[in-house]
Amino acid sequence: MRIARIRNSFLILSILFSCFWATPVQAAGSHDGICNGPEDVMTILVVGTDTRGIGYLYGMADTIMAIRVDFQNNDVAIVGIQRGHWVQIPDVEEDNGRTHGKLTQAYHFGTEGMGYYSGSGYGAGLLQATLRHNWNFDTNHYIVINMRMFRDVIDAIGGIKVYNPSPVYSFHQNQPKYLAGGYFFSGSDALFYARWRDPRNVYSRVDRQEIVLKAMYDQLFSLSTIPKIPELFGLYKANVLTDLSLAEISQLLCLAAKTPPDQVVFTKIPTALLYIPDWASSPWLEKKPGTIEKFLGDFNQGIYYEEN
């Protein structure tokens, strides 16, 4: 157990070290929770952008997740939020009268390069505001990563082992792109698998992203990762955007050392709540108003649902 905690500590330190270059917000105060964490739950928006370069001047939100961290009860959960939801995008100073778009576009319009959003946090800030405006879902902080970092980190840890549970089809629909079974992926392979769009089941894209994330956890927490910590330091530095303070990073580091990966809950907005048209690149709609807000509200309260 002690070895596992030390291993986890080194791992999370390597991940969070990259955040130290960011401008810190006010340091968190002293509390009585686990790892001196806050009494209130911390919810962190995690965005994976589709940019392949180093910077974050432009880009869409290719992956959107939220991590709920409860320091009082040692509880960590992750919810996947599909990028294709049709939403109202607030506070965008455009000249063409746009008021709605896909959730992924909320991040795009907020990026510094687009220059439409007047609030703080650029793309992540507008995405946070959009989640709050449409579903009353609040996140306290954000972490943004790009595809280059995602790919390089997987390569740095030696690749990942993935089990694909069902065939993933190509756009020809008669040829499976991936058969059911086990795969060993490099960073580029994992990125391709996570981003592949199956025309028979666009929703499974989120499922594959969860599969890749879990596989990364398994490999990151393995003993073979420890010698690669210095390389991970170099990969993460200056390739992550975040508003987490040093005090909050320290608290998250401590909690990670106390939380085995198999205790982290994974969930996502259920298919049953959504109307997904069968044409390419169509937006996704809520079948019954208020259902997504309730689902995300329950998540923030520590009530998690698994799709049957």
Rounded CA separation 123/118 (Å):
11
Q: Which two three-digit tokens encode residue 105? A: 């576009």
Residue 155 lies in a domain: no
For 136-185, the pLDDT digits (tens) are: 999 999 999 888 878 888 888 889 999 998 888 876 667 788 889 999 99
Inter-residue contact 279 to 270 (CB < 8 Å): no
Residue 128 lies in a domain: yes
DSSP string, the chain: -HHHHHHHHHHHHHHHGGGGGSPP-SPP---SSGGG--SSPEEEEEEEE---SS--SS--EEEEEEEEEETTTTEEEEEE--TTBEEE--SB--SS---EEEHHHHHHHHSTTT--B-SSSHHHHHHHHHHHHHH----SEEEEE-HHHHHHHHHHTT-EEEEE-S-EE-TTSSSEEE-SEEEEE-HHHHHHHHH---TT-TTHHHHHHHHHHHHHHHHHTSGGGGGGHHHHHHHHTTSEEE---HHHHHHHHHHHHHS-GGG-EEEE--GGGEE--SSTTPPBEESSTTHHHHHHHHHHTT------
Residue 70 lies in a domain: yes
Q: Write down the pLDDT at residue 255.
A: 81
Q: Which residues contact 104 (CB under 8 A, 6 or more apart)?
A: 60, 61, 62, 64, 83, 84
Q: Write down the pLDDT at residue 147.
A: 81
Residue 216 lies in a domain: no
Residue 217 lies in a domain: no
Rounded CA separation 150/12 (Å):
15
Q: Write down the pLDDT at residue 16.
A: 45
DSSP string, 160-176: EEEEE-S-EE-TTSSSE
Give the position of tokens 């200056």. 238
Q: Write down the pLDDT at residue 22.
A: 40
The residue segments making up the domain with residue 262 are 2-147+226-300
Name the pairing type of β-strands 265-268 and 75-80: parallel
Inter-residue contact 48 to 148 (CB < 8 Å): no
Q: Write down the pLDDT at residue 14.
A: 42
Residue 95 lies in a domain: yes
Q: Which two three-digit tokens encode residue 9? A: 């500590």
Number of domains present in the structure of the chain: 1
Q: Write down the pLDDT at residue 91.
A: 82
Inter-residue contact 286 to 69 (CB < 8 Å): no
Cα–Cα nearest to 56, from 182, 146, 139, 125 = 146
Q: Write down the pLDDT at residue 122.
A: 93
Give the position of tokens 């199956």. 198
Rounded CA separation 54/259 (Å):
31
Q: Which two three-digit tokens encode residue 224? A: 């073979």
Residue 210 lies in a domain: no
> At 239, which CATH number?
3.30.420.590
Report CA torsion sign: 216, 220, 223, 224. Answer: positive
Q: Write down the pLDDT at residue 237.
A: 59
Calculated CA dihedral for residues 295, 300, 301, 306, nearest 10 degrees: 50
For 256-280, the pLDDT digits (tens) are: 767 777 788 888 899 889 887 777 6
Residue 7 lies in a domain: yes
Q: Write down the pLDDT at residue 127.
A: 97
Q: Write down the pLDDT at residue 7.
A: 41
| List of the chain residues with pLDDT < 50 | 1-30, 308
